[in-house]
Amino acid sequence: MPLLSPRDVEAIHSALDLAYQGWASCDQVIRRHGEVRPFSRIREAERRHIHELWRLFIVHGLPIPTNPRAVLMPVPDSLPEACGMALEQERTRLRRCRQLLAAAEGQQLRTAFRSLAEASEARYLPAYERCGQCRNTQAGGCPDGPSRPASAPPRRCLARTHQDWQWAATPER
């Protein structure tokens, strides 16, 4: 295994901090508002990203830093406000992930950073945007996804790839 440059070590630490931040912000919203989507799903995805980054630390013989973000953070009183705050935080994290990806030297680092950036851009940002538009924020968010009003028909995904999202109403049977 090639040795990492000090710049790469710093980049891995930054990426892990971004994942810790995403996990912690979702966790705090869930503590305040209950198991609501998209926060519950994004928190689980961030946990997987954290474990992926931990593997890089282990492979390169680096000590895994503790989560400095495991302290209580302020959370808005309403779920729509929490969605708006999460959307802005995610935009900031995406910019930082792109910077890390552009500066990464090793293939393993590029793969890990690309995974973080793609998840943020393709899944988290759209989920937070839909979450902020949801009007049914009682009882765990909107049914059938965070952007669906309670009166909307069920839907099925017509996506051919993760970047080709199109939703259509499921025909009544």
pLDDT digits (tens, 9 = 90+) for 147-159: 444 444 444 444 3
The pLDDT value recorded for residue 164 is 35
* Domain-located, residue 101: yes
Q: Is 87 contained in some domain? A: yes
* Residues 122, 148: Cα–Cα separation, whole Å: 18
pLDDT at 99: 92
Q: What is the predicted pLDDT for the residue at 1?
A: 56
Strand intervals (E) in the chain = 155-157, 167-169
Q: Dihedral of the CA atoms 88, 92, 94, 96 (nearest 10)?
A: -170
* CATH number of the structural domain spanning residue 145: 1.20.1260.10
Compute the average pLDDT of residues 16-31: 90
Model pLDDT for residues 25-43, shown as the tens digit of each residue: 899 988 888 888 889 899 9
Mean pLDDT over all residues of the chain? Answer: 77
Q: Is the pLDDT of residue 114 over 50?
A: yes
What's the pLDDT at 66? 83
Domain that holds residue 69: 6-169
- 81 lies in some domain: yes
Which residue(s) pair with 156 in the sheet?
168
Question: Which of these ranges, 49-53, 71-75, 83-87, 138-142, has the smallest mean pLDDT?
Answer: 138-142
User: How many domains are there within the chain?
Assistant: 1
Q: Which residues contact 139 (CB under 8 A, 6 or more apart)?
A: none
Span 60-65, average pLDDT: 89
35 inside domain = yes
What is the reported pLDDT for 155? Answer: 44
Predicted pLDDT at 79 = 86
Cβ distance 59 to 8 under 8 Å?
no
The predicted structure's pLDDT at residue 95 = 93
- Kindly compute the dihedral angle of the four CA atoms of residues 94, 10, 8, 91, in this order, to the nearest 10 degrees: 0
Q: Is residue 28 part of a domain?
A: yes
